[in-house]
Amino acid sequence: MRKRYLCIALIFELLACLGAYFMQYFTARKLGMLRWVNHLCNKWGRMMDLDRLNLILMLLVSALTLALLTWTIKRAKEKIRNFAPLMAAAVGAVGIYLVWTLRYTRRMMAAYYLVSPVLLLGAMMALVCWALAVLKRE
């Protein structure tokens, strides 16, 4: 049962990364998608400060990853090898999100404010799977 949930979560995480790639690709290639993305970003930009929100989310995800890493090391000292692939995948997903958010800006890419939350969703899914695996192991 647990393996089924982990497989579903992994598929969801891969779909989130694939969706982020397709958003970026079609925004760069299709003018209609670019217009829609610009309209959406302008509408969201009037409601809230998106750059500050991205910074807060980056700090929260980094803190959550570090807290989960220390929690796993404290809880499962002797079984740390069992969680190594799951930990590596989660840290990799968080790393992709952080590098993407730090490297690209709104000026460089039109779909920045749409792709960043999708990558965040994939990273959070990986962190949740990691936490559930540690909790179920005990």
Residue pLDDT, tens place only, 6-43? 777 778 878 887 887 888 788 778 777 777 877 777 78
User: What pLDDT is recorded for position 71?
Assistant: 81
pLDDT at 138: 58
111 near 24, Cβ under 8 Å? Answer: yes
Name the pLDDT band for 127 (thresholds 50, 70, 90).
Answer: confident
> Looking at residue 108, what is its pLDDT?
63
What is the spatial distance between Cα 27 and Cα 48, in angstroms, rounded to a whole number? 23
Q: Which domain holds residue 81?
A: 2-137
For residues 129 and 90, the answer to whether their CB atoms sit within 8 Å is: yes
Count structural domains, the chain. Answer: 1
pTM assigned to the model = 0.68
Greater confidence (1 vs 35) lies with 35
Burial group, residue 81, by CB count within 10 angstroms (0-12, 13-18, 19+):
exposed
